[in-house]
Amino acid sequence: MRETPRSSPPIATNAPARVEALNRNQPPIYGRVVGLSGDRLELVLEAPLAAGEAIKIEAPDCLLLGEALYCEARPAAEVEAWVVGAGVEHGLWDLERIGWFGH
């Protein structure tokens, strides 16, 4: 059974994000959060991810673990960008309040 985040606090639209594919040794991918609904997150990233990849997402005041669900080239973008949908399986929220400054 998949564990879903409990009443996840919203992440601001257009918040910066740092994404790491956990199953490959590559530099992080940077981008922006463009949507959050329940256990789903949508990002616009500067490089693609493969559907099914395990990922770690760092955004302001949170750390999320999940899976890339889809990745599509962003049409008519001024710079190369990809829209990535992610399923969030685990999340740590309000990191500043709990004193975790490694974020």
Q: Which residues of 90-101 are buried (b: 16+ CB within 10 A; e: fewer)?
A: ebebebeeeeee
**pLDDT, greater one: 100 or 71:** 71
Q: Domains, the chain, ranges and CATH?
A: 16-93 (2.40.10.220)
Structure confidence by residue, pLDDT tens digits, 42-96 = 999 999 999 999 999 999 889 999 999 999 998 766 788 999 999 999 988 888 7
Q: Is residue 3 very low, low, confident or very high in pLDDT (cuts 50, 70, 90)?
A: very low
82's tokens: 């990809």
pTM over 0.75: yes
Q: What pLDDT was estimated at residue 30?
A: 97
